[in-house]
Structure 1
């Protein structure tokens, strides 16, 4: 039969109660979006051609492209802002090196 020392037993029990996992490293915070990149899609230019057929043809194409641009742009900007805020929350006061604004990471 093996006898355990009370001191050894206390040392083992107290070691288990502490959090031994190292803290997560601070993630680099992406640069804030510039006003140019976060600006919505530009307004459509007016067409002054008096022919109704031209107006209808151009308007349909422009409206479809503009709506597609608007939806994609809003989605990308919102995702970027949300992920940046999540990284800042994750860091919880730790200050990692800021990401360079002139570098775009490939997908």
Structure 2
């Protein structure tokens, strides 16, 4: 199970987002650093930087379906930019891991 940040960082965020060169501490596309620990704490109060969905919260603890971070990985961003990662190279178990972690987060 992916119930803690260390697991989701190791299985999803680092290999698919940070080490891919897009969302690292050194190069945080869309101001999104998914490499540095405490991802949940940083994303809780942030919204999308995409102009047409600037009110969309990146992370809603306990609610993966309302979390833009999860929606982008599922291709459900509804006209708010592209699905992530851009090459679509995220396995179903990685998507599941991310959603499971967000669902397990407490507010």
User: Aligning the two structures, in what range does the TM-score lie when normalised by the shorter sequence?
Assistant: under 0.3
Provide the TM-score with structure 1 as the length reference.
0.22
TM-score by length of 2: 0.22
Structure with more helix by fraction? 1
Question: Which one has more relative contact order, counting CA pairs under 8 Å at least 6 apart?
Answer: 1
Structure number with bigger Rg: 1
